[in-house]
């Protein structure tokens, strides 16, 4: 057994050992956080893992999360660093702890917030990976067959690239969210934030083909609320789409290791900026709550300009 695998199992055992009363307190706090902020299921699950991990650490000290001090939290973060947790993981943990203890202080369960002096670890700002326009084109045109599953996949890929969708937004997209007459898509993003995104002619063409020829045959007389269904009439899930995308990349001659649903979203944003899109408009299309989240794409655009300058300028 590797050291990493052993550490993962030890952490899982620590979470599992937390007593029922503490688990109930954590679950109650998460319900209140959900009611106040409308957090997604994935975010709540991450918060739960983080809080139970802390609870397991504190239990060995004879304490519960409500009784934790600043020193306890410093020790826990120090232990995580020594165990090799990444800065990104520790940053997410700190977000979980801050939300939890802010809730506890508002509710009068604790007098002092033990996270108030904890600082967020500095995270490197990675440049999002994007495909070139020719690679995206190859991916979209990789299979020209009329097979129903390929028509469905082409419609999904065209829509994801045209609208900058997250994979969860794509597979959960309701059929009622499509307005073919106006060429718009109503997308429910993170934090239940709704946005309207234009589809573009090519994506709309393939979506119409899918709706006319594929979906009715798969769904039959049943009422299925989601837009995209597989051959059995069931909603696609993220794993299905991921696997289909990897196969498509192989067929297109694009390295599958470089292709993922989120890379298509990055490509959407990067290609729009390269063609002169406004950053504020891009923020709205992506559904970012903060412009700083969108500005990261300017780094890719700048890299592209540098390469062009080096390739074509006489003193590049």
| Structural contact between residues 119 and 181, judged by C-beta atoms closer than 8 angstroms | no
Other CB atoms within 10 Å distance of the CB of residue 209: 16
Q: Read out DSSP for 122-172?
A: P---PPPP---HHHHHHHHTS-----HHHHHHHHHHHHHHHHT--HHHHHT
Give how far Cα 116 sits from Cα of 66, 75, 98, 157, 187, Å: 15, 15, 8, 44, 36
Classify residue 96 as exposed, middle or buried by CB count within 10 Å of its CB (0-12, 13-18, 19+). buried
Other CB atoms within 10 Å distance of the CB of residue 43: 20
List, by residue number, the catalytic residues: 166, 190, 262, 265, 288, 297
Give how far Cα 22 sits from Cα of 57, 124, 245, Å: 12, 35, 42
Q: Which of 128, 130, 134 is nearest to 252 (CA)?
A: 134
Pairing, β 184-188 against β 194-198: antiparallel
User: Rounded to whole angstroms, how far apart are CA atoms 266 and 130?
Assistant: 5
Run of H or E including 66: none
DSSP-H helix ranges across 164-290:
167-171, 201-209, 215-219, 238-252, 261-274, 279-286
């Amino acid at each position: 057994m590797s050291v990493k695998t052993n550490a993962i199992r030890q952490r899982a055992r620590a979470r599992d050992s937390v007593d029922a009363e503490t688990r109930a307190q954590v679950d109650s706090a998460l319900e209140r956080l959900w009611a106040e902020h409308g957090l997604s299921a994935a975010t709540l699950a991450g918060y739960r893992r983080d809080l139970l991990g802390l609870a397991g650490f504190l239990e060995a000290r004879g304490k519960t999360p409500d009784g934790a001090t600043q020193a306890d939290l410093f020790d826990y973060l120090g232990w995580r660093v020594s165990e090799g947790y990444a800065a990104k993981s520790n940053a997410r943990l700190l977000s979980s702890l801050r939300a939890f203890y802010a809730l506890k202080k508002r509710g009068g369960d604790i007098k002092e917030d033990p996270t108030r002096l904890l600082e967020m670890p500095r995270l490197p700002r990675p440049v999002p990976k994007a495909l070139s326009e020719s690679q995206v084109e190859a991916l979209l045109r990789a299979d020209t067959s009329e097979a129903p599953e390929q028509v469905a996949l082409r419609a999904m890929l065209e829509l994801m690239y045209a609208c900058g969708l997250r994979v969860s937004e794509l597979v959960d997209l309701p059929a009622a969210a499509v307005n073919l007459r106006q060429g718009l898509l109503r997308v429910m993003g993170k934090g239940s934030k709704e946005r309207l995104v234009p589809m573009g002619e090519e994506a709309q063409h393939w979506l119409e083909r899918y709706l006319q020829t594929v979906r009715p045959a798969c769904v039959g007389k049943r009422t299925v609320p989601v837009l995209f269904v597989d051959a059995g009439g069931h909603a696609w899930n993220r794993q299905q789409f991921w696997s289909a995308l990897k196969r498509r990349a192989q067929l297109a001659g694009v390295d599958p290791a470089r292709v993922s649903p989120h890379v298509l979203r990055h490509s959407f944003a990067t290609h729009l900026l390269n063609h002169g899109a406004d950053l504020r408009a891009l923020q709205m299309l992506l559904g970012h709550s903060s412009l700083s989240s969108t500005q990261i794409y300017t780094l890719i655009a700048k890299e592209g300009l540098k390469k062009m300058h080096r390739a074509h300028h006489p003193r590049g």
